Amino acid sequence: AQSVTQPDIHITVSEGASLELRCNYSYGATPYLFWYVQSPGQGLQLLLKYFSGDTLVQGIKGFEAEFKRSQSSFNLRKPSVHWSDAAEYFCAVGAKQAGTALIFGKGTTLSVSS
Partner 1 sequence: DTGVSQNPRHKITKRGQNVTFRCDPISEHNRLYWYRQTLGQGPEFLTYFQNEAQLEKSRLLSDRFSAERPKGSFSTLEIQRTEQGDSAMYLCASSLVEGVDGYTFGSGTRLTVV
Binding site for partner 1 (CB under 8 A): 4, 32, 34, 36, 41-46, 49, 90, 92, 94-107
Which is closer to partner 1, CB of 15 or CB of 67? 67
**Of residues 72, 73, 55, 53, the one with CA closest to residue 64:** 55
Which is closer to partner 1, CB of 36 or CB of 78? 36
Report in angstroms how near the CB of residue 76 gets to partner 1 at its nearest.
14
Report in angstroms how near the CB of residue 51 gets to partner 1 at its nearest.
8
CA 86 – CA 25 distance, rounded (Å): 24
Residues in the chain: 114
Which is closer to partner 1, CB of 15 or CB of 104? 104
With the CA atoms of 2, 7, 12 and 17 taken in that order, what torsion angle do they form, in degrees rounded to the nearest 10?
-80
Tell me the one-letter amino acid at 13: V
Facing residues of 36 across strands?
A: 46, 90
Report in angstroms how near the CB of residue 8 gets to partner 1 at its nearest.
14
Report in angstroms how near the CB of residue 91 gets to partner 1 at its nearest.
8
